[in-house]
Amino acid sequence: MSDISIEKELQKSYLEYSLSVIIGRAIPDVRDGLKPVHRRILFAMHELGNTYNRAYKKSARVVGDVIGKFHPHGDSAVYDALVRMAQDFNMRDPLVDGQGNFGSIDGDAAAAMRYTEVRMSKLA
C-alpha cells in the first residue's frame, strides 16, 4: 500500500466524475445529435402513441410520463427540452409539433405546460 494525498485523490476523482457527467449528459450524441433527455422525451411520446398523424396531447402528460418512467429530474428541465424541440428557430428540423405558445425568437418564454399540446413531427 502506498500513501495517497487525500487532496490529490479528491481532485482526480472529481475531475473523472465531472468529465463522465459532461460526456454522458451534456454533450449531444454524435450518432443522432440528441441528448439523453431528448431521446427519453421522444421515446415516451412514441409509447403514448403521440405520432404526427394522431391528435395532440397535453405537454404536461408527456412531461409527467418522462419524469415518472425515464428521467427522474425536475419537470422544468424536461419541459424546457420539449419546448426547444418544438421551436423551428432553435432546431433546423423540429422533432416535436407544438400547438400553443412555445415562445419566440425574441426570448419570450413558452406558456406553462398545462396550456400547450404536442405530438411528434413527421420527421421524428
Query: Which residues belong to the active site?
Result: 115
Total length of the chain: 124
Beta strands in the chain (DSSP E): 57-58, 96-99, 117-120
- Dihedral sign for Cα atoms in the order 54, 75, 41, 98: positive
